[in-house]
Structure 1
Amino acid sequence: MRSFYRGCTLVSLLALGAGFAACSSGSGGSGGPAQTGLAQSALTPATSCDDVEALLRERLKQNMAKSVEAARESALQQLEAGCVWFGEDGGPVGASSSGSASSGGPVSAPTEEGGGGVDDGGAKEYSTTNTQEADVDEADFIKNDGENVYILAHGQFQIFDAWPAADIHRVASVAIEGEPKKLFVHEKRALVYSSLSPSSSPDGEIASYSSGECTYGYDCEFTGDGTPLLVTEFDISDLTAPTVVRTLKFSGSFINARRIGAAVHTIVASREPTVEGLSTWPEGLDVCSLSDQGVNPSTVAAVNSAYDKLLEKNIALIDAAPLDIQLPSVEDTVYRDGVASPKSHEPFASCENFYLSNTGDGQSFLSVVSTELGAEALGQTTIVGRPGAVYATADSLYVASRHQYGQTYGWFYDDGKATPDATTIHKFALSERAAPSAYLGSGVVKGRVLNQFALSEHEGYLRVATTTGHLPDPDTHNTVASLKQEGGELVVKGMVDHLAPGEDIRSARFYGDVGFVVTFKKTDPLYTIDFSEPEAPRVRGELKIPGFSTYMHMIDEGHVMSIGYDADDQGDFAWFQGILLQIFDVTDLDAPTLTHKEVIGTRGSASDAATNHLAFNYFTQRGLLGIPMVICEGGSGGDFGDTMTFSGLLVYKVDPGAGFTSVGGVPHPLPDASADGNGPSCGNWWSSATSFVKRSVFMEDYVYSVSEDEIRVANISDLAAPEAVVSLVP
């Protein structure tokens, strides 16, 4: 068996037997920015599917052995403590002697938009998707081109003639297989992403790491929802009759996507392989009976012997498992004149353009799949490793994967206890065609990224903001690093370390040579960071104020606008409160100032825009800001508000000098208090905020407020009285 792990091998794990110790600890030392983990962060090209299978089997064995040894330790502790808790089989509760896959032991296993052709009949000025980088479109469930609105709602791809605004009406509605989630629209094509039911996958299972969509990233992982992905391409030359021209059915799930011109790059995560029959509790082991005999060499040997045999049994099961059927797959079907023509080429089958991760803490598949609207080609590049946050420019795509000390085999830094978090970053070149994305190199930074805005490429350097540690650990701190590609490595060339000790990052944003980082524990320090010398970045200014920002947006070169939460200082910590809008004057990087502040509602008030930048709509041409809102009043301190007073879209006039001037709100019906409790309420948690209104679109003097069920269209001069309401319900 070929070994790709650079550290202790499976052979050494088995040879240790009862003395097994997971090879996950560092050797001790200074830790910090030393690039000890560059080799481990690199991806190794797979020469064949045999390479991929060998790595998968080795990872399965390593992870299995770690779980079994944790169970062994628990059993020996139970032997010494006596039989205090037990199940019908004589083993600890939660253990099983059946040897089934679900068997548990005493310890859990470780675990451009639109482009649809605006003619003279469309709005002259209109808002588009709020993207991180110019000319790099991001998938969302709504798109518009100044004349038409394209939206996914209630299982359908719907198209509305939206201009003139008061005459908005649906012109087409097409049912989508599965649950439609995201789309792109470009020229005469639309690309729709939908999640299929688990039964649509090759083996009828979903990924064990399924967690739904992760946008903000503070307490969620970028793993996708675990369900198979269907991509449907429509010809929308005739807006009244969208026609399916191609479908791509992936075994993996959607994580993210970017569009540059007609080229679309989709990131798909496929689940980790599983093996039936693995167990962490030896069949027939009765710790209770052994404990009656006391702790002695004979009883300890009996426990160890049972676990040694279990290790051998599990290894045999892994060796015999047909892992090839669990490789990623795609069914590519082209439609000509309504007739399906399945394509025989399976780009994943030969494991071409597969790369193997050396970190040891992930064996799922992460694929960058490239297609071109209006063309039939498909390119894929796949990593066998961990999924992560996705950031892209017009030329490059980065995947940033989080790692924790103790969960990998080997570590990136000498002192794992001092540096318990790390992020590996893999860089790929993007093509304007449907070609495989070339792997360019990898690097590692200490700490974990928050989300895509923690990364930014500028003039050949990648800036990355990370947090090491978790609150309330006082050793928690933050780092901003500058990386440069040198050969096949992303090398840290400069960094600001130990930024804001005792706090963690709540938002980050980079513009040109400047970076802004907001941290929080009880106050909101805004740091301005100068990258004019990228290999010697430095903090220029710091501003401490109550509350914290979760998303930052540049108004102009000297002013940053943000959304986040107000806070109530409690001494050692602070309660988050109502939604907070702020404007910072950053003209002088050495002395940033808060010039304007608007607090909306009390604790429990929420906006999708606080945790999803796609819901934050700043209409630059008119200086208007639209944010979905649920406003709650009442409550104090740590108590949530008890009365919902508004649900809808708030609109503000934004001016760096005058601040936020309320234009009003587009109200949507308040929820029925007797409802089943689903959906937004006054109990919203700050990192997973949700509102009934999800998006907004500006067209000249009109705003379109979009909820899951309807679009309300109002003139800016009278937002409380919509001129049109159209239902999205079929």
Structure 2
Amino acid sequence: MRNRSVGFFAVSALSLGAVGIVPSACNSTGTPSYQAAYEACVASVPKPAPQVVAGNASKVQSGLVASDENAADATMRAAAVAGMRRAVDNAKYNALVNLRCSALSKGSGEYDSAGGAGSGGVPAPANDHGSPTNVSGTNNQVSGVDEADFVKNDGHYIYTATGSALHIVEAWPAKSMREVGKATLEGTPLKLFVVGDRALVYSSVQKQNAAPSRLRSAPIGGGSSGACTYGYDCDFSGDGTATTLSLFDLTDRTHPRLVRTLKSSASLIAARRIGNAVHTVLGQRATTPSYRTYPEGSPKTEAEAERAFEALKIDNEKAMANLTMKDQLPTLDAGGGAAPITHLLQSTVPDGVAFTTVLSLDIANDSAPLNSVTVLSRAGAVYASAKSLYMAVPHQRDGYYGWFDDAPSFDEVSSVHKFAIGDGVLATEYRASGTVKGRVLNQFSMDEKDDHLRIATTTGHLPSPNAHNTLSILGQEGPALKVSGQIDNIANGEDIRSVRFDGDRGFMVTFKKTDPLYAFDLSKPSAPVILGELKIPGFSTYMHVMDKNHLLTIGYDANDHGDFAFFDGVLLQIFDVSNPKSPALVHKAKIGTRGSSSEALSDHLAFNYFVPKGALALPMTICEGGGDGSYGTNMTFSGLMVYDVSLDRGFALRGTVAHPNAETGNGYNNGGCYNWWTNASSEVKRSIFMDDIVYSVSTSRIKANDLQTLATDVAEVSIR
């Protein structure tokens, strides 16, 4: 669920929406006079009173404890009632704000996060037809830890999970590219792994609505639907579907053979592969009969609203008194029918009505035993090293579910749960938990080195001046993850847009109007240090370690307007960090105007920097026209852009591979220029290099083009 009340002005954490600013209606402080009056009125409305669910401790230590289906049932029932109370209290608060303050509200509109109105190469395997010398692989965060994606390649074949099938395309030599094998999949293909002659494919399957027919089923575990890769305005909660894992034997590429099927009632959150061990994180939100959050009729006075909403809570609680939740435990069917989970852990802070499972299997052995750990907790951002998997679950203090003894002064924290993983299935087990201030942006906000987790977090939301950032280093002490060192109050009034760790160094980009690039010394876990910072317009959403002294980044330009800034075209940059006390911007290139987008802006798997050729391939939609703060109105390109990148000359466009959408004739869909800034509209999603050939991959076709003559297609294959 997208949250667009994170820009120039929002009245509160429970804002009714961002309010437009009329420059001529300002007082001496620069704040519009009616806005100030409206803010004062909203502040006068009492916030929902904290309540602790009966049976829950008001203060607890973060961690996971053993549970069973009866304990889980009681916890989920209490959490469901608490969620109902919170929803009704929030609705009451908004009603009171409307009754008391609506006459003071003027203007309308949304403000974007920038404050403006509107919304390396791997050796290829040998094969009978010859092979390329160098081939690009998946842009994994951690070397040796493969990440699932919808496209994989082995230097000869390209494998995609798209449409309704696993497609196997013989891609080398490029001139004779053709689909040689295909296997129909249940549901909608999502991602896959390929190792040797094995492929593991994930697909989502719609669930049947099992809620009582008299009431509509509603998810109560919290979070948004759909894939979440960047995390700025989405939650790592899955899409609510079930997941099928299909294991194929690819010994004969022309006839992939299904050898194992696993069906989980939970949805895919993340997956990592270490050797032959695949570790999958699955999330499931429970459902409960829906309840009313607004009384019948429209209360005319505040006193009437108070009585009506309190009566509504009592009625809802009566309806939920006999609620049974344990039949909603996630299940796994390995071929003998759906079986409930057996290894269940419970968060010490009741955390919504949701489950998260870490499932481990051997991709090379279709009969090997499975290993899983399930937690009664919402999912969160997932990071994995070669031996540990971490999940960071965000919390905001609301008084309904209790709070953390180890974070008494914070109103926004993340529970961090650590699981042991590795190249063997049986290694997977829960290890420890801890609490850190703030919330993470995505997986790149976390990194493990020498058994310490470095984690960067943001507290608060723009445009609050109290928003700030924290870098913490956690060490394991028994079952606890404890803060060894920390830097707090980084970039007050700004939030994190990207993070990258590299050995003993760390880099963080924050933003409100400019892009401060911070460099950190993390060599002493007990004493992290900010070494230097660089302020420039715009912000980076992804930082790639180009070499030990340089960062290659993608992000957005920004136009400064004093109190805010409009985000603008796509920006490529190279930073020199050889002297971390004085990082420097050495090259940049701007692409298009406001509304231009790239899949690589919010998904690092689309960013392809191919070291053997010094080339950078990016899916891109270019929009032109518009003005300061206005979207470009004309889409002039959609496809793949390839740049030559060097430290001496910076960025030089080598050429483009067009992917016009066939449904729009010979042009592009201009409507794609108006997407929200974290939602790319590029038809191309990925790219692959094989020597001098670059393959551009969409969800419906693959094109092959020579780097010397990019405008001319060498071959094209449909993968619908």
TM beyond 0.5:
yes
1:310 aligns with 2:315: yes
Of residues 142, 146, 150, the one that matches 2:155 is 146
Report how far residue 38 of structure 1 moved. 9.9
1:240 aligns with 2:237: no
Counterparts of 1:155 and 1:300, CA distance in 2: 51
Report how far residue 66 of structure 1 moved. 3.7
Report how far residue 347 of structure 1 moved. 5.5
Counterparts of 1:154 and 1:679, CA distance in 2: 24
Matching residue of 2:117: none
Is this contact kept in 1: 2:62–2:406, CA < 8 A?
no
Matches within 5 A, 1:128-143: 128-143=137-152
Is this contact kept in 2: 1:566–1:576, CA < 8 A?
yes
Report how far residue 113 of structure 1 moved. 12
Opposite residue 259 of structure 2, the aligned amino acid is V
Matching residue of 1:457: 448
Matching residue of 1:682: 673
Counterparts of 2:48 and 2:178, CA distance in 1: 68
Opposite residue 381 of structure 1, the aligned amino acid is V
Matching residue of 1:42: 63
Is this contact kept in 2: 1:255–1:269, CA < 8 A?
yes
Counterparts of 2:557 and 2:309, CA distance in 1: 56
1:728 aligns with 2:719: yes
Matches within 5 A, 1:528-543: 528-543=519-534
Report how far residue 657 of structure 1 moved. 2.6
Report how far residue 650 of structure 1 moved. 0.8
Of residues 65, 76, 83, the one that matches 1:63 is 83
**3-state SS of the aligned residue for 2:678?**
helix
**3-state SS of the aligned residue for 1:199?**
coil
1:197 aligns with 2:206: yes
Counterparts of 1:553 and 1:154, CA distance in 2: 30
Opposite residue 504 of structure 1, the aligned amino acid is D
Is this contact kept in 2: 1:665–1:719, CA < 8 A?
yes
Distance verdict in 2 for CA 1:646–1:344, change over 3 Å: closer
Counterparts of 1:304 and 1:597, CA distance in 2: 56
**3-state SS of the aligned residue for 2:585?**
strand
Distance verdict in 2 for CA 1:308–1:680, change over 3 Å: closer
Counterparts of 2:422 and 2:139, CA distance in 1: 23
**3-state SS of the aligned residue for 1:41?**
coil
Matching residue of 2:127: 119
1:178 aligns with 2:187: yes
Matches within 5 A, 1:9-408: 21-23=49-51, 39-46=60-67, 48-67=68-87, 118-119=126-127, 121-199=130-208, 207=219, 209-274=223-288, 276=289, 278-279=291-292, 306=311, 310=315, 313-314=318-319, 317-318=320-321, 320-333=322-335, 343=336, 346=339, 348=341, 352-373=342-363, 374-376=365-367, 377-406=369-398
Distance verdict in 2 for CA 1:480–1:53, change over 3 Å: same
Counterparts of 1:236 and 1:383, CA distance in 2: 34
Matches within 5 A, 1:535-684: 535-669=526-660, 681-684=672-675
1:508 aligns with 2:499: yes
Matching residue of 1:434: 425
Report how far residue 249 of structure 1 moved. 1.3
Output one character per residue of 1:371-406: Cα deviation in whole Å (capped at 9) or x when no partner.
111233211101111211000011100011111222
Is this contact kept in 1: 2:92–2:306, CA < 8 A?
no
Is this contact kept in 1: 2:617–2:642, CA < 8 A?
yes
Query: Structure 2 unaligned runs (5+)?
Result: 1-46, 101-119
Distance verdict in 2 for CA 1:312–1:659, change over 3 Å: closer
Output one character per residue of 1:515-536: Cα deviation in whole Å (capped at 9) or x when no partner.
0000111111100011011210
Output one character per residue of 1:608-656: Cα deviation in whole Å (capped at 9) or x when no partner.
0111000001112222111011111111211111111111111112222
TM-score by length of 1: 0.82
Q: RMSD between aligned alpha carbons?
A: 3.4
Percent identity among equivalent residues?
Answer: 45
Matching residue of 1:9: none
**3-state SS of the aligned residue for 2:141?**
coil
Counterparts of 1:555 and 1:37, CA distance in 2: 48
Is this contact kept in 2: 1:347–1:380, CA < 8 A?
no
Opposite residue 388 of structure 2, the aligned amino acid is S
Matching residue of 2:14: none
Matching residue of 2:485: 494
Opposite residue 546 of structure 2, the aligned amino acid is I
Output one character per residue of 1:113-144: Cα deviation in whole Å (capped at 9) or x when no partner.
99996436222210000000011110100000
Counterparts of 1:162 and 1:398, CA distance in 2: 36
Report how far residue 542 of structure 1 moved. 0.5
Matching residue of 1:86: none
Is this contact kept in 1: 2:77–2:324, CA < 8 A?
no
**3-state SS of the aligned residue for 1:474?**
coil
Report how far residue 709 of structure 1 moved. 2.0
Counterparts of 2:187 and 2:458, CA distance in 1: 37
Is this contact kept in 2: 1:114–1:184, CA < 8 A?
no
Larger radius of gyration: 1
Distance verdict in 2 for CA 1:618–1:58, change over 3 Å: same
Matching residue of 1:336: none
Is this contact kept in 1: 2:188–2:205, CA < 8 A?
yes
Report how far residue 408 of structure 1 moved. 5.0
Report how far residue 322 of structure 1 moved. 3.1
Is this contact kept in 1: 2:441–2:497, CA < 8 A?
yes
Counterparts of 2:416 and 2:664, CA distance in 1: 47
Query: Structure 1 unaligned runs (5+)?
Result: 1-18, 26-35, 82-111, 334-342
Counterparts of 1:131 and 1:423, CA distance in 2: 24
Distance verdict in 2 for CA 1:38–1:172, change over 3 Å: farther
Counterparts of 1:395 and 1:354, CA distance in 2: 22
Distance verdict in 2 for CA 1:595–1:671, change over 3 Å: farther
Matching residue of 2:463: 472
**3-state SS of the aligned residue for 1:432?**
coil
Output one character per residue of 1:242-286: Cα deviation in whole Å (capped at 9) or x when no partner.
011111111111111001111111111111241x3745578xx98
Output one character per residue of 1:430-462: Cα deviation in whole Å (capped at 9) or x when no partner.
143333721111111111100000000011111
Matching residue of 1:94: none
Counterparts of 1:286 and 1:200, CA distance in 2: 30
Counterparts of 1:331 and 1:202, CA distance in 2: 21
Distance verdict in 2 for CA 1:388–1:113, change over 3 Å: farther
Is this contact kept in 1: 2:73–2:324, CA < 8 A?
no
Matching residue of 1:712: 703
Is this contact kept in 2: 1:113–1:137, CA < 8 A?
no
Counterparts of 2:154 and 2:403, CA distance in 1: 48
Counterparts of 1:256 and 1:458, CA distance in 2: 21
Is this contact kept in 1: 2:152–2:160, CA < 8 A?
yes
Output one character per residue of 1:74-116: Cα deviation in whole Å (capped at 9) or x when no partner.
99999x99xxxxxxxxxxxxxxxxxxxxxxxxxxxxxx99999
Opposite residue 42 of structure 1, the aligned amino acid is G
Report how far residue 67 of structure 1 moved. 4.1
Opposite residue 41 of structure 1, the aligned amino acid is S
Distance verdict in 2 for CA 1:482–1:74, change over 3 Å: closer
Is this contact kept in 1: 2:73–2:326, CA < 8 A?
yes
Is this contact kept in 2: 1:195–1:230, CA < 8 A?
yes
